Amino acid sequence: MAVLMLKRQVAADPVDRAACEERVNLIDSQVSELVGAIRSLRDWELATTDDGVTRSALVAQCMTLMRSAFDLHGVTLEVDEALATPQDDEPRWPKAAALRYLFLGALGYLHDGVDDAGTIRIEAEGTDALRLYAQLRESGGASAVLDAHRAPRALAIDPVALQNLAEDLGYAVVLDADTVRFALAAG
């Protein structure tokens, strides 16, 4: 979309240099995010051993990967300040790939399971767990025109699918209608 807008701005007479520069910077930012997400995929294989992942790094990796996709569907992802900045003494949790899959499964469950989800918020729970919860979209918060043109998307992640995923990966999750909680320690 940004490239299309740039083409229109370049074709305009006279060319608005400031608008074109702003659009190029936006495209550069989006491409950089995409490249970062693609590079991070190499770490997503389920390895038998790994260096583990900190809670804040887990959240950052998954948010980087999914933020744009959720934005396109009108769902904002918010992270609690306690998770936004890594701590020096933050513990590392083994089975990083499994935790990433579980985190993404939880995001998909909330996206698909909460009607009119507008925001999914991620918070620290204690020192060793995460809490994800969905908040309803504010009335008038999304454009009806954009909603009409969005492709339908559902990962079919219902409570049973998320429970099975967690059990297969060796984790326990606690589900409510609009909340997912899981500990970072397996078992």
pLDDT digits (tens, 9 = 90+) for 114-148: 777 888 999 999 889 999 998 888 766 555 555 55
| Pairing outcome for strands 173-175 and 179-183 | antiparallel
Mean pLDDT of 55-81: 88
Q: Please tell me the CATH superfamily of domain 50-183, with its number.
A: Histidine kinase-like ATPase, C-terminal domain (3.30.565.10)
What is the rounded distance in angstroms from the CA atom of residue 158 to the CA atom of residue 167?
14
pLDDT digits (tens, 9 = 90+) for 86-115: 888 889 998 888 899 999 999 988 888 777
Residue 42 — very low, low, confident or very high, per pLDDT cuts 50/70/90? low
Return the structure tokens found at 134: 């969905």
Triad 108, 128, 175: Cα angle to 5°: 35
Say which DSSP state 43 is in.
G
At residue 35 the predicted structure's pLDDT band, cuts being 50, 70 and 90, is: confident
Rg (CA), the chain: 19
- Which secondary structure element, helix H or strand E, spans residue 131, and what is its range? strand 129-136
Q: Give the residue, 64 or 43, on which the prediction is more confident.
A: 64
Using CA atoms, how far residue 172 sits from 29, 110, 183, in Å, is 37, 17, 7
As a whole number of angstroms, the distance between CA 140 and CA 144 comes to: 8
Distances (CA, A) of 127 to 55, 84, 104: 9, 15, 20
pLDDT at residue 48 is higher than 70:
no
The reply to whether the predicted model has a pTM over 0.85 is no
